[in-house]
Amino acid sequence: MAIGSSPTSGQHRRLRLGMVGGGHGAFIGAVHRMAARLDDRYELVAGALSSDPDNARRSALDLGIAPDRAYASFAAMAEAEAAREDGIDVVSIVTPNHLHFAPAKAFLDAGINIICDKPMTFTLEEAKELVATVRAKDLVFVLTQNYTGYPMVRQAREMVAAGAIGDIRVLQTHYAQDWLATAIDQEGQKQATWRTDPKLAGAGGSIGDIGVHAFNLAAFVSGLEIEAVCADIRSTVPGRRLDDNANVLLRYKGGATGTLWVSQVAPGNYNHLTLGVYGTAGGLQWNGEDNDNLVYSPLGEPSRILTRGGPGVGEAANRVTRLPTRHPEGFVEAFANVYSDAAELILAKREGRAPDPGATTVPTVEDGARGLAFIEACVRSSTGGAVWTDASFD
């Protein structure tokens, strides 16, 4: 949605949205709801918002969901909504990691499109099953790797595809936080507790929670497929069951190499995600804490800063820009861009037309599977003594 434009023209009704998870006490559910509302493409009409039936009912009531569409379980919701003439068009799954696969499979089997938080599933085998189901059902499945929604990340992808930096040689990405620097997971802090529990989070701790964002960001901008990883992942806090720091070497198909550092125990880092992509003709650098700017360094020339909404910025970024230059946009807006692209894909499929090309870059079920392949390869590599390990999905 370019500056000053409206993402809706009145020709489409809002998509009816359901949500699994995201009730009282959840962080990310509220972010998803803000993102869905921002461009007025969705109306939240149904939910199974908590595994606690009372919390689910109270949460639905507070969100204005009708009592008969406040469900005690995702299974009941999938069955009931599929049978309704005014049933949901798409469901957003915002539960902890171990509760992604079963709801996604139930709603896909019911013929309902999916927007799912990352990592997509608990295991790679589950991810492969979802890929097969989405392909068989011909439904839309969008993964909320929300950093792909930032305008200057879209700009970087467009420039790489256009050959602005030549053939890619090196990628460098890191995602650092400090919120797990102490044992808050062992003191009952809800968000920390489930993220460090292998029964709820899966095989990876920091590598699955934020490492998959860094991995996906590098793949999204570069267009490269991962081939192998060499990983050292470990827990640095005594008693913690999953990793909180990871150092990973990357090999991509075609010869490019890279490094990925992930940490949730790095004091002074709040949400520090960066990406550098370096080729034969130049380089690009993006910092998520300064997300309106992209540094472009043509080989042998002074570096220049491209700014969201400013001169020299292309259609890929302008399409997902809402406000004029230096009116900051950020985290929720990037989420909203993913949601709006999902709406465009769903509507295009329903209407039998080609979607807006910009919407087709949004992360898919296949990207979700690639993320699980990356996580599991890192765990195998580290367990085996930091050896090179195949990480490809296809």
Provide the β-strand partners of residue 170: 257, 278
Is residue 115 assigned to a domain?
Answer: no
Tens digit of each residue's pLDDT (9 = 90 or more) over 116-171: 999 999 999 999 999 999 999 999 999 999 999 999 999 999 999 999 999 999 99
Kindly report the pTM of this predicted structure: 0.94
Mean pLDDT along residues 186-197: 94
Distance CA 198, CA 177 (A): 20
Is residue 288 assigned to a domain?
Answer: yes
pLDDT of residue 234: 97
Provide the β-strand partners of residue 247: 232, 261
pLDDT of residue 8: 39
pLDDT of residue 345: 97
Cβ within 8 Å of residue 344, ≥6 positions away: 355, 356, 359
Q: Which residue shows structure tokens 């700014």? A: 307
Distance CA 301, CA 92 (A): 46
Q: How many domains does the chain have?
A: 1
Helix axes 74-83, 101-109, angle to 10 degrees: 20
Distance CA 82, CA 232 (A): 45
Is residue 138 assigned to a domain?
Answer: no
Tens digit of each residue's pLDDT (9 = 90 or more) over 203-252: 999 999 999 999 999 999 999 999 999 999 999 999 999 999 999 999 99
Tokens linked to 295:
């540094």
pLDDT of residue 26: 83
pLDDT of residue 142: 98
Residues spanned by the domain of 248:
150-321+365-390
Tens digit of each residue's pLDDT (9 = 90 or more) over 263-294: 999 999 999 999 999 999 999 999 999 999 99
Pairwise pLDDT comparison (330 vs 5), residue with the higher score: 330
- Kindly state the percentage of the chain with pLDDT values over 90: 93
Average pLDDT of the chain, as a whole number: 95
Tens digit of each residue's pLDDT (9 = 90 or more) over 27-52: 899 999 999 999 999 999 999 999 99
**CATH number of the domain residue 250 falls in:** 3.30.360.10
Is residue 216 assigned to a domain?
Answer: yes
Is residue 16 assigned to a domain?
Answer: no
Please say whether the beta carbons of 288 and 217 come within 8 A. no
pLDDT value at 377 more than 80:
yes
